[in-house]
Amino acid sequence: MKPSKPVILTGVRANNNIHIGNYFGAILPIINMAKRRSDEYDINLFIPDLHSFTTPIDHSKLYDSILNNARVYTAAGLPLDNPSIHLYRQSRIPAHSELAWILDCFTGFGEMSRMTQFKDKGSKGDASVGLFNYPVLMAADILLYGATYVPVGDDQTQHLEFTRDIAERMNRKFGDLFIVPKPVIQQHQFFGKDQGLRIKDLVNPAKKMSKSDESGKGIIFLSDDPKSAHKKIMSATTDSIGKVQYDKENQPGISNLLEILTLVRQDAGREVTLEQTANEYFGMDRYGDFKRIVADEVAEFLENFQNRLAAVDEQAIEEKLASSEKDMNAVANETLYRVQKAVGLRK
Ligand code: TYM
């Protein structure tokens, strides 16, 4: 089975602790893009589960957290019955690991050492070889399916550039083996406003909401009890200016709350823009009252989302995974065989 349309491909690592930054910043835009573009493109939405333990994790929770990603996508509105959308686990398609090994042998040690994510995480103690060559596996994830567009956040663009480099290098050496994904700038143009949203931490709105924050007070997890999420919003850091307005520079906390309020309203089906929300509350001088509005609506969003999550059809998810994995094994193996032939492993 060969995809007849150009391919858009992306992945979000298995994670049991998805927060609203991941949800509104990455997952929801991907689902909306999948729904909008599936007429013209094949959409490969996969769970990079082999990428889940480049740093130590609790392995007893991994299996469930892989499925949890699929459940969250479904609760976020991913249409499982759309045949142009493929939902699969990386580990169920052995060609990913095999191509990664071949690409490893054409990748320079120095080239990998310069990857900033490795430098950030790997500098803290005894990093694994898996963390070191993780971008090579990511390149295999992309090149096996000939993906043209790969929507990712800024932290992943260096890996996308590497994917282009290794694909071009292999094509120069062996002839046209791979479709090279578009350069990052063209990716941004293509996805337009799908890119660039960054929900900030509630306690420290100068930094993005990220699960590496130890206290958890600045983060709203999708699994948070709505009451405790309400409390977190009520204690969010604001400023001493004393008037609600959208000013990211001088009022990052209030601006973040305006963004969150807009997003939960959109999730509830309201067609509202950030500008409209900002106008609605412009000049309000009692931050406590404003926060209560945001807190109430965030609590309501969580309650709705958690109800949707509890109601997902597990069997439909299992069936979708099984059928996509069957189809994608066929696509991936075709590319892998071509590469094996080129490097002399097959006739
Ligand atoms: P991961 O799982 O760390 O993150 C998934 C995607 O979410 C983006 N992201 C955010 N976007 C907006 N706001 C935030 N607060 C935020 N936090 C994270 C990330 O940039 C990413 O796009 N290596 C990848 C997974 C991967 C992959 C691939 C992606 C493996 N193979 C092939 C695309 C194609 C990763 O660790 O993303």
pLDDT digits (tens, 9 = 90+) for 141-175: 999 999 999 988 888 899 999 999 999 999 999 99
Question: Tell me, what's the pLDDT at 121?
Answer: 76
Q: Which of 30, 90, 156, 164 to mutate to test the pocket of ligand 1 (most atoms within 8 A of CB)?
A: 156
Topology annotation, domain 226-309? Tyrosyl-Transfer RNA Synthetase (1.10.240)
Task: Render pLDDT for 285-323 as a digit per residue (tens, 0 to 9).
Answer: 999 999 999 999 999 999 999 999 999 999 999 999 999
**pLDDT grade, residue 15 (50/70/90)?**
confident
121 catalytic per annotation: yes
User: Residue 27 Cα, ligand 1 centroid: separation in angstroms?
Assistant: 9
Pairing of strands 7-11, 85-89: unpaired
Question: Is residue 195 scored above 60 in pLDDT?
Answer: no
Domain 7-197+314-342 shares a fold with domain 226-309: no
* Gyration radius (Cα) of the chain, Å: 21
Question: Is residue 193 scored above 60 in pLDDT?
Answer: no
Question: Is residue 197 scored above 90 in pLDDT?
Answer: no
Task: Render pLDDT for 61-87 as a digit per residue (tens, 0 to 9).
Answer: 999 999 999 999 999 999 999 999 999
Residue 337 has a CB neighbour count (10 Å cut-off) of 13
Question: Tell me, what's the pLDDT at 3?
Answer: 57
Q: From residue 171, give the alpha-carbon distance in Å to each of 87, 89, 177.
A: 28, 27, 5
Q: Which two tokens stand for residue 113?
A: 């050492």
- CA dihedral in degrees (312, 314, 316, 317; nearest 10)? 90
Residue 169 has a CB neighbour count (10 Å cut-off) of 15
Q: Please state the domain extents for the chain.
A: 7-197+314-342, 226-309
Question: Tell me, what's the pLDDT at 191?
Answer: 81
Residue 294 has a CB neighbour count (10 Å cut-off) of 22
User: Residue 217 Cα, ligand 1 centroid: separation in angstroms?
Assistant: 23
> Does the domain spanning 7-197+314-342 belong to CATH 3.40.50.620?
yes
Nearest of 278, 308, 330 to residue 78 by alpha carbon: 308
Question: Tell me, what's the pLDDT at 214?
Answer: 67
CB-based burial, 89-101: b 16+ in 10 Å, e otherwise: bbbbbebbebbbe
Give nearest CA residue, ligand 1 atom 5: 12
Question: Tell me, what's the pLDDT at 152?
Answer: 86
Q: Which two tokens stand for residue 145?
A: 């399916």
